[in-house]
Structure 1
Amino acid sequence: MGIENALGPNWYSAVVIAGLLGSAYIWRRLTKAGPERSARDRFVLTIIYFTGLFGALIGAKLAFFFAEGWLYRDNMLALLTGRSITGALLGGYIAVELAKWKLKYTSTTGDLFAIIVPFALILGRIGCLAEGCCPGVECGVHWWTMTDAQGVPRWPAPLVELVFNAGFLGWSILAQRRSWCAGNRFHVYLIAYGAFRFAHEFARDNATWWGPIGGYHIVALLMVVFGVVRFRQRRRVGAVGRVP
């Protein structure tokens, strides 16, 4: 079920590509800043970025299979295209940490991702709005509702997620300038987005397992727990210490 879209079926793909290219450009600019980074460090950071992107793609697919893939076992197109940002965040994080361990890169990278990830997700949600995917639950007509292709008013789930990520992006930029939560900003994002997503799942039109609880609730809780654990580990080590 999709929200009516006058921009055409290729708009979502175009926005996703723009998000990937834009985040890669921002990553390159951020990693080039500061004379303390050698050419090798910048090369390693490029590898880390693309490894994280690959891990995010794998995690996004696994989360979809876990949460609702069983609903589409006879729909090959849905199985091929289904994905979830909740799994992408966890998969990308794990891939980055594995790459850093393999490459023996011990500096923190989360503060960089705390900027580029919300930026990429903002563009992704713009694509959702244009394409009509990821709808909210049916609700009464209000000024803030969105009407799907069948004329049903729905909770504006993609727009709400866009606003959340825009707000966090603003906080992350301000935190960088004022040195808030140095080395821990992406952990803050995991905690904040996980808690937000858990609550927001009740307003999203996704498959559920037990009453209103679905697989994405579980993934969101894992995100919060993982973020809290890593936040505490990072705080003990210190922002400039070795990555635990």
Structure 2
Amino acid sequence: MHFPVVWQLGPVILSAHFVFELLAYSLGFQLYRRLQQQSPSLRMSSEQKLMLLLGCVLGAIALAKGLGWLQTPFILSPEGERIWLPPGKTIVGGLLGGWLGLELSKRWLGIRGSTGDVYVWPLSLGLALGRVGCFLTGLADNTYGLPTHLPWGIDFGDGLLRHPTQLYEMLWVLLLAPLVLWLSRHSAPGTAFRYWLAGYLLWRLAAESLKPVPLLYGGLSAIHWASLLGCAIALYSAWQLKRALQPVASATDL
């Protein structure tokens, strides 16, 4: 296989990254809409849905860009001088920013019910498809792993067998979704999403050690620190949901 993978349809050249990113957004959104329609706890007006979507998107863009810049703010020239880079984007920032934007929008609109669990499968599907696109893009995507001697190492074009960290992540999110939904089947609404987010961020903590990323902040990368903080917040929030449900369960037992 040669990287990056592109397809030519007549005069049009399509990159695999573009195709799979388009599939990730479109299929993930369609799955979200279907699950939302099937959930009786998510009956909202069109205006409320639009405001929640707007808050989620704006938050995701802001933190995806911000954390992306902190992850790799500069490169060093051959003379050792810093060359400052424009902001990139990162999924970790997008997830945390989207969650923050959604929660702030819910508070502003006075919506108290949890809307998070419906995102578990759409996010997993979108991430899995997106990571296939990252894999097929090769070195240009900067999501490849460190060199490895393992038999499944992939040569992305530089002559080195590397960890296919994109495929690791694809498999992880597809396993994580059914796992957290099963673990939280008797839990308060919103617990599954918080478990999913914590599980994904724990994965990113491990996966970053398999990538050639700059460790600029106390021996860790910006994504390391964001994953640690986000995981702690997600687990604490899940514990709060469980705690809030306990008095109701006790009263029912009486």
TM-score, scaled relative to structure 1 = 0.83
* Equivalent in 154, 169, 190 of residue 183 of structure 1: 190
Q: Residue 85 of structure 1: CA displacement?
A: 1.0
Q: Is the counterpart of residue 144 in structure 1 residue 148 in structure 2?
A: no
Q: Is the counterpart of residue 223 in structure 1 residue 227 in structure 2?
A: no
Aligned to 2:94: 88
Pair 186,36 (structure 1): closer, same or farther in 2 beyond 3 Å = closer
> Per-residue CA shift, 1:89-128, capped at 9, x if unaligned?
1101100001111111111011012221111111110110
- Segments of 5+ residues of structure 1 without an aligned counterpart are none
Q: Residue 50 of structure 1: CA displacement?
A: 4.2
**How many residues are paired up?**
232
Aligned to 1:14: 19
**If each structure's strand is expressed as a fraction of its own residues, which one has the higher value?**
2
Pair 89,104 (structure 1): closer, same or farther in 2 beyond 3 Å = same
Write out the 4+ residue segments of structure 1 that deviate beyond 6 Å after TM superposition.
none
SS in 1 for 2:198: helix
Pair 25,70 (structure 1): closer, same or farther in 2 beyond 3 Å = same
Q: How does 1:144-183 map to 2 (within 5 A)?
A: 144-172=152-180, 174=182, 178-179=185-186, 182-183=189-190
Q: Residue 158 of structure 1: CA displacement?
A: 0.4
Q: Is the counterpart of residue 23 in structure 1 residue 28 in structure 2?
A: yes
8 Å CA contact retained: 2:5, 2:15: no
SS in 2 for 1:206: coil
8 Å CA contact retained: 2:145, 2:163: yes
What is the Cα-based RMSD across aligned positions, in Å? 2.6
Query: How high is the sequence identity, in percent, across the aligned residues?
Result: 22
Q: Residue 21 of structure 1: CA displacement?
A: 1.4
The AA in structure 1 aligned to 2:27 is G
Q: Residue 54 of structure 1: CA displacement?
A: 2.9
Pair 200,34 (structure 1): closer, same or farther in 2 beyond 3 Å = closer
Q: Residue 60 of structure 1: CA displacement?
A: 1.1
Distance 1:85 1:199 in 2: 15
- Greater relative contact order (CA < 8 Å, ≥ 6 in sequence): 1
8 Å CA contact retained: 2:188, 2:245: no
- Segments of 5+ residues of structure 2 without an aligned counterpart are 8-13, 77-81, 249-254
Q: Is the counterpart of residue 206 in structure 1 residue 213 in structure 2?
A: yes
TM-score, scaled relative to structure 2 = 0.80
Distance 2:43 2:70 in 1: 41
Distance 1:107 1:35 in 2: 11
Q: Is the counterpart of residue 193 in structure 1 residue 200 in structure 2?
A: yes
Q: Residue 188 of structure 1: CA displacement?
A: 0.4
Q: From the CA coordinates, give the structure whose radius of gyration is larger.
A: 2
